[in-house]
């Protein structure tokens, strides 16, 4: 059996990032994990390595161009040809327009959008010569509309969505599947469970169920590629 290509996930944590890592690892893909803190990376890397795949963990700032470029190069060198790249990071400043600073706006855009550009570009540079690969961008409700007090977040997420569309139109005809996933609702976590004990568990998105969709996007036949998909709980208003 041919070895599976490597997967990079930038923006891992105990929720969706960990679920994505486990999902692709169960299919035999070696995994590169990146987050801002080493403790967060190590906790997830140990669990994923237990599934029998090679794991590369890196504590990096996803908005640092050199760090992202180096991570992609290390992934190919240590884990093999890159097959899937997932940008799962974001930044937000929940404030009135009147209280937002230039730094708030820039930080949110850098974390929600610029980092996705760095990862997407470096992934595409390696995938294009091989003629295949998948690049997935995690969006949010703010990708589709700007809400009160969420201007900074929306600017960054709108930008990431635009980036994914542009990349899909450029690279799709060359064999690279680029998709944007609009996660329209709250994601279930241990903290959320404690806060909403009186609500049905599946009124929040289950991270493992989201990860199944990401893996399904990667496995889509190219005659039916999705460029954008909405995920929301059955109770969510939209």
Range of 116's domain? Answer: 6-230
The answer to whether residue 237 is domain-embedded is no
Tell me whether residue 236 is in a domain: no
Rounded-to-integer distance, Cα 144 and Cα 130, Å: 33
Strand partners of residue 178: 135
For residue 2, name the pLDDT band (cuts at 50, 70, 90). Answer: low
Report the pLDDT value the prediction gives residue 237, as an integer from 0 to 100.
87
Report the mean per-residue pLDDT for the chain: 94
- Of the pLDDT bands very low, low, confident and very high (cuts 50, 70, 90), residue 1 is very low
Assess whether pLDDT exceeds 60 at residue 193: yes
- Of the listed ranges 49-63, 101-115, 180-194, the one predicted with least confidence: 180-194
Q: Can you give the CATH number for the domain in which 209 is found?
A: 3.40.50.720
pTM confidence score: 0.95
User: Does 1 map to a domain?
Assistant: no
Domain membership flag for residue 238: no
**Within a domain: residue 158?**
yes
Question: Which DSSP string do the residues of the chain spell out, in sequence order?
Answer: -PPPPEEEEES--TTHHHHHHHHHHHTT--EEEEES-HHHHHHHHHHHHTTTS-EEEEE--TT-HHHHHHHHHHHHHHH-SEEEEEE---------TTT--HHHHHHHHIIIIIHHHHHHHHHHHHHGGGT-EEEEEEEEGGGT-PPTT-HHHHHHHHHHHHHHHHHHHHHGGGTEEEEEEEE-SPBP-HHHHHH-TTS-GGGSB-HHHHHHHHHHHHH--GGG--SEEEE--TT---
127 CB burial (10 A radius; 0-12, 13-18, 19+)? buried
Instruction: Report the residue count for the chain.
Output: 238
Assigned domain for 177 exists: yes
User: Which pLDDT score, from 0 to 100, does residue 198 have?
Assistant: 74
Which tops the pLDDT comparison, 186 or 212? Answer: 212
* 53, part of any domain: yes
What is the number of domains present in the chain?
A: 1
Does residue 54 sit within a domain?
A: yes
76: which 2 tokens?
Answer: 């190919």
pLDDT at 171: 98
More confident residue, 54 or 2: 54
Q: Is the pLDDT of residue 38 over 80?
A: yes
46 pLDDT band, cuts 50/70/90, is very high
């Amino acid at each position: 059996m041919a070895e599976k290509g490597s997967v990079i996930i930038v923006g891992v944590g105990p929720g969706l990032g960990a679920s994505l890592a486990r999902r692709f690892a169960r299919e035999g893909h070696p995994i590169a994990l990146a987050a801002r803190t080493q403790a967060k990376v190590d906790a997830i890397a140990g669990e994923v390595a237990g599934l029998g795949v090679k794991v590369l963990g890196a504590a990096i700032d996803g908005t640092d161009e050199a760090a992202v470029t180096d991570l992609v190069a290390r992934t190919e060198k240590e884990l093999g040809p890159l097959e899937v790249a997932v940008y799962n990071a974001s930044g937000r400043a929940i404030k009135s327009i009147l209280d937002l600073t230039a730094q708030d706006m820039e930080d949110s855009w850098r974390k929600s959008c610029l980092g996705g550009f760095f990862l997407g570009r470096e992934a595409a540079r390696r995938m294009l010569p091989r003629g295949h690969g998948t690049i997935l961008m995690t969006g949010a409700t703010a990708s589709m509309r700007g809400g009160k007090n969420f201007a900074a977040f929306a600017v960054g997420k709108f930008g990431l969505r635009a980036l994914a569309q542009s990349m899909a139109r450029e690279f799709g005809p060359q064999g690279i599947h680029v998709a944007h996933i609009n996660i329209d609702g709250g994601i279930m976590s241990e903290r959320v469970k404690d806060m909403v004990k009186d609500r049905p568990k599946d009124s929040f998105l289950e991270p493992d169920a989201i990860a199944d969709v990401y893996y399904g996007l990667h496995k889509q036949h190219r005659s039916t590629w999705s460029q954008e998909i909405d995920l929301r709980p059955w109770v969510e208003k939209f």
